[in-house]
C-alpha cells in the first residue's frame, strides 16, 4: 500500500495543476456537435446593455451575440464568463426552418417580416445585428441541414416544405409587400424571387401584397408561410369538342386586336387584360382562375330546341319554349323549332367578347331573332299554308336566320320546323273535311272497283268463250296438221317406193348386165375353149387319122363311149337284128340315143 502512495499523490498533483492552468488560462472546449453561448458576468469598465437589447455586441454583461465554435478557446475565465454548450440546430429533410429574431431593429409598420441581412444563415449574429437586422419574423428560411445558431437571439421552428401536387397549381397570396395598384385585383408578377422562395428579392423588385398573378406549378418549394399563403387548385381542363376563351382581369394593358369595326370589348393578345384572342384548345392548362374567367365554348354543332317539352343535354335551351304565332287568317297556333348553330374555334373569343357567354348568346341573341322571325313571317301565310307548305317556310326561315346571326360571328347550320299545333276547332273542321274527302275518294275507288269488276267479269266470260274458240281452232289446226302429216307420209312412202323400185330396177339391171357380161364372157371363153379344144382335137384327129387311117375314127368313138360309161355289148345285142346292118351301125345308133337330150 505504501508503494502506490507516491504515484497517487503525483497524479492528484498533476490534475490539480491542470485545473489550475485551465483556470488561469480560461480554456473552454467545444465539441463538433455543439455551439457555445457566452454569458459575460460583468465588464471591467462598467459597460451595460442598452435598453431594449437582449444580446450584447460590445462586451456588455449578459448574453453575447458571438458564439463559440468547435475547438479550444482561451481566456474565458469562469469568474468572468459562463459558457452554455448548446446542440446544433438541425433542419430535417422535407422541412424548412422558420426564424424569429428576439433582438434587432424594429420592423417598419408597413412590413410584417424583417428585412434580409446576409449573416450566413443566421449563424453570424454579430453581422445580423450590426447590419440592421430586425427583430421578429424573418423572411429567409433555413433549408435542410445543421446550423450553429445562437438560440438566445434566434428562435427556430420547423415546418413542412410547400408541395404542389401533379395536376394542381398553387395560387399564391403574399402577406407582405407594397399595396396593389389601384384598379387591379391581383399583384403583377415580378422577377427574381425564385417562385416566392426569396422574399427579399420579391420586396426589393416591387412585389405587392395580396393575390398574385403568378402561380406555382407542380413541385416542392421552400416557402415561408409567414410571407406567402398557397392555395392548391386543379388544372383547367378543356374537354374535347370545346375551346376555352380566357377573360383575364389582370395583365398588361395590351393593344386591342379586334379592329375598329368591333365595338363590343377589347380582344388582346395572350397575357393581356381582357379577352384573349387565342382560345385554349382541348387539354389541361395551368391558370390562375382567381384572376381570370374561362368560358367554355362548344365547337361542335349545337342543337337548340324552341319546344316546351324537349331540351338538349347541354341545357342551353332550357329556358326556350314553343313559339306561339298568329297566321294571316287570324288563327293562333304553336310552332316547335330546332336551330342548329356552330361557333368556330377562332371566332369564339369574338362571340364571348360580344355577349359574355354562350348562354347569353342563346337567350339574348338567338331567342329574339328566331322567335320574332316566325311571329312576323307567320302573319303573311294562312295556317293551312304552314301545314301544307312547311318545307317552303322552313327554307325561307333558314335563309333569313343564316344572314341574321352571321353578324354575331355564329354560323347557322340548319333551321328545322317541328310540330305545328293548330287550334282544336280548326282541326275539327279540317278533320271533318278530310274525312269527307277521304270518303269521296273511297266511293270513287269503290266505283272504279265495280267498273273494274264488271270489266273483269266480261273479260272472264269472253275468256271462257275464247277458250272454246281457241280449242276448236286448235282442233282444226291439229286435224289439218294430221291430214298434212298423212299426205306427207303417203308422199314419203310413194317416193320411197318409187325410189326403192327404181333402186331395185337399177340393181336388177345392173345385176342382169353383170350376169350378161359374165355369161357373155363365159360363153366367149367357153367358145374359145371349145374352139381351142376342137382345133386341138381336129389337129390330133388329123394327126391320128394320118397315122391310123380310118381305124382312128373308131378309136375316138370307143374312147368317148368309155368316158360316158356306155355298155356296148348287151345293148347292141338286144337292139340289133336288122339284116345288112353292121356293128358300126349299131354302135352309131346307140351313140345317137345317148347324145340325144332328154325332155
Enter the CATH code of domain 298-426.
Answer: 3.30.479.30
pLDDT for 18: 55
Separation of alpha carbons 495 and 210, rounded Å: 136
pLDDT for 19: 56
Do 314 and 321 meet the contact criterion of CB atoms below 8 Å apart?
no
Q: What are phi and psi of 243, to 5 degrees?
A: -130, 155
207-241 burial, b for 16+ CB within 10 Å, e for fewer?
A: bbbbbbbbbbeeeebbbbebbbebeebebbebeee
pLDDT for 110: 87
Separation of alpha carbons 163 and 221, rounded Å: 6
pLDDT per residue as tens, the chain (599 positions): 444 566 676 666 656 655 555 556 678 888 888 999 898 888 777 778 888 788 988 888 889 888 888 888 887 888 888 888 889 999 999 999 999 999 999 999 888 999 999 999 999 999 999 999 999 999 999 999 999 999 999 999 999 999 999 999 999 999 999 999 988 899 999 999 999 999 999 999 999 999 999 999 999 999 999 999 999 999 999 999 999 999 999 988 878 888 777 777 788 999 889 999 999 999 999 999 999 999 999 999 999 999 887 778 888 888 888 988 888 888 888 888 999 999 999 999 999 999 989 999 999 999 999 999 999 988 888 887 877 888 898 999 999 999 999 988 999 999 998 888 777 766 666 677 777 888 888 888 888 888 888 888 777 777 777 777 777 777 777 877 787 877 777 777 777 777 777 777 777 777 767 676 766 677 677 767 767 776 776 777 677 667 666 666 666 666 766 666 655 555 544 444 444 445 555 555 555 555 454 43
The residues near 265 (Cβ < 8 Å, ≥ 6 apart) are 258, 274, 275, 353, 354
pLDDT for 592: 54
Instruction: Please tell me whether residue 325 adopts helix, strand or coil conformation.
Output: strand
The angle subtended at Cα 383 by Cα 379 and Cα 387, nearest 5°, is 130
Separation of alpha carbons 507 and 125, rounded Å: 163
Separation of alpha carbons 569 and 588, rounded Å: 13
Separation of alpha carbons 301 and 316, rounded Å: 13
Q: List 168's β-bridge partners, or say none.
A: 234
Q: How far is CA 349 from CA 267, 291, 315, 529, in A?
A: 7, 18, 21, 145
pLDDT for 24: 61
Separation of alpha carbons 73 and 34, rounded Å: 13
pLDDT for 576: 44
The residues near 518 (Cβ < 8 Å, ≥ 6 apart) are none
Closest by Cα among 312, 276, 309 to 294: 276
DSSP 81-102: EEEEEEEPEEE-TTEEEEEEES
Separation of alpha carbons 367 and 93, rounded Å: 62
Separation of alpha carbons 33 and 18, rounded Å: 25
Do 211 and 291 meet the contact criterion of CB atoms below 8 Å apart?
yes
pTM above 0.75, yes or no: no
β-strands 55-56, 62-68: how paired? parallel
pLDDT for 80: 85
pLDDT for 579: 46
Q: What are phi and psi of 202, to 5 degrees?
A: -60, -45
Separation of alpha carbons 24 and 82, rounded Å: 15
Q: List 146's β-bridge partners, or say none.
A: 90
Q: List 55's β-bridge partners, or say none.
A: 63
pLDDT for 379: 87
Q: How far is CA 435 from CA 43, 390, 432, in A?
A: 126, 22, 5
β-strands 267-268, 228-234: how paired? unpaired
Separation of alpha carbons 590 and 599, rounded Å: 18
Amino acid at each position: 500500500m505504501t508503494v502506490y502512495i507516491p504515484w497517487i499523490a503525483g497524479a492528484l498533483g498533476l490534475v490539480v495543476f491542470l485545473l489550475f492552468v485551465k483556470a488561469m488560462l480560461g480554456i473552454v472546449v467545444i465539441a463538433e456537435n455543439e455551439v457555445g453561448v457566452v454569458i459575460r458576468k460583468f465588464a471591467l469598465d462598467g459597460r451595460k446593455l442598452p435598453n431594449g437589447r437582449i444580446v450584447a455586441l460590445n462586451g456588455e454583461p449578459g448574453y453575447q451575440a458571438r458564439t463559440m465554435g468547435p475547438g479550444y478557446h482561451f481566456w474565458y475565465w469562469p469568474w468572468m464568463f459562463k459558457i452554455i454548450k448548446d446542440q446544433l440546430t438541425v433542419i430535417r429533410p422535407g422541412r424548412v426552418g422558420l426564424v424569429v429574431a428576439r433582438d434587432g431593429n424594429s420592423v417598419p409598420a408597413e412590413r410584417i417580416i424583417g428585412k434580409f441581412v446576409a449573416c450566413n444563415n443566421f449563424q453570424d449574429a454579430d453581422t445580423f445585428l450590426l447590419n440592421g437586422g430586425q427583430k421578429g419574423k424573418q423572411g429567409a428560411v433555413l433549408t435542410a441541414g445543421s446550423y450553429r445558431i445562437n438560440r438566445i437571439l434566434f428562435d427556430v421552428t420547423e415546418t413542412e416544405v410547400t408541395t404542389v401536387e401533379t395536376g394542381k397549381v398553387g395560387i399564391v397570396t403574399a402577406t407582405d409587400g407594397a399595396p396593389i395598384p389601384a384598379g387591379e385585383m391581383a399583384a403583377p408578377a415580378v422577377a427574381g424571387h425564385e417562385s416566392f422562395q426569396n422574399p427579399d428579392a420579391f420586396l426589393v423588385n416591387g412585389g405587392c401584397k395580396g393575390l398574385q398573378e403568378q402561380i406555382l406549378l407542380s413541385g416542392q418549394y421552400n416557402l415561408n408561410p409567414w410571407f406567402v399563403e398557397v392555395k392548391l387548385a386543379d388544372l383547367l381542363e378543356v374537354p374535347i369538342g370545346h375551346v376555352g376563351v380566357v377573360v383575364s382581369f389582370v395583365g398588361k394593358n395590351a393593344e386591342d386586336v379586334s379592329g375598329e369595326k368591333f365595338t363590343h370589348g377589347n380582344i388582346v393578345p395572350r397575357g393581356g387584360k381582357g379577352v384573349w384572342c387565342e382560345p385554349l384548345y382541348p387539354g389541361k392548362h395551368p391558370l390562375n382562375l382567381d384572376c381570370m374567367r374561362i368560358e367554355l365554348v362548344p365547337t361542335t354543332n349545337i342543337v337548340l330546341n324552341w319546344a316546351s317539352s324537349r331540351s338538349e343535354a347541354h341545357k342551353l335551351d332550357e329556358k326556350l319554349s314553343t313559339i306561339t304565332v298568329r297566321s294571316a287568317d287570324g288563327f293562333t297556333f304553336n310552332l316547335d323549332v330546332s336551330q342548329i348553330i356552330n361557333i368556330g374555334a377562332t371566332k369564339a373569343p369574338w362571340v364571348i367578347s360580344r355577349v359574355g357567354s354562350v348562354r347569353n348568346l342563346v337567350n339574348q341573341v338567338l331567342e329574339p331573332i328566331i322567335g320574332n322571325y316566325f311571329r312576323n313571317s307567320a302573319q303573311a301565310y294562312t295556317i293551312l299554308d304552314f301545314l301544307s307548305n312547311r318545307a317552303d317556310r322552313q327554307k325561307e326561315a333558314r335563309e333569313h336566320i343564316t344572314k341574321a346571326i352571321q353578324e354575331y360571328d355564329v354560323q347557322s347550320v340548319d333551321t328545322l320546323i317541328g310540330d305545328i299545333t293548330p287550334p282544336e276547332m280548326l282541326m275539327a273542321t279540317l278533320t271533318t273535311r278530310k274525312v269527307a274527302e277521304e270518303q269521296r275518294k273511297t266511293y270513287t275507288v269503290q266505283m272504279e272497283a265495280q267498273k273494274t269488276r264488271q270489266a273483269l267479269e266480261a273479260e272472264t266470260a269472253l275468256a271462257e268463250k275464247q277458250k272454246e274458240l281457241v280449242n276448236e281452232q286448235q282442233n282444226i289446226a291439229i286435224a289439218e296438221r294430221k291430214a298434212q302429216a298423212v299426205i306427207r307420209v303417203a308422199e314419203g312412202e310413194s317416193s320411197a317406193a318409187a325410189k326403192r323400185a327404181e333402186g331395185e330396177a337399177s340393181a336388177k339391171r345392173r345385176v342382169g348386165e353383170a350376169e350378161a357380161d359374165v355369161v357373155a364372157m363365159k360363153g366367149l371363153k367357153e367358145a374359145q375353149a371349145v374352139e381351142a379344144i376342137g382345133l386341138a382335137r381336129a389337129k390330133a384327129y388329123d394327126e391320128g387319122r394320118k397315122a391310123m387311117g380310118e381305124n382312128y375314127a373308131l378309136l375316138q368313138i370307143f374312147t368317148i363311149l368309155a368316158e360316158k360309161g356306155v355298155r356296148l355289148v348287151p345293148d347292141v345285142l338286144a337292139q340289133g337284128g336288122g339284116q345288112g346292118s353292121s356293128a358300126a351301125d349299131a354302135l352309131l345308133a346307140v351313140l345317137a340315143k345317148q347324145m340325144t337330150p332328154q325332155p
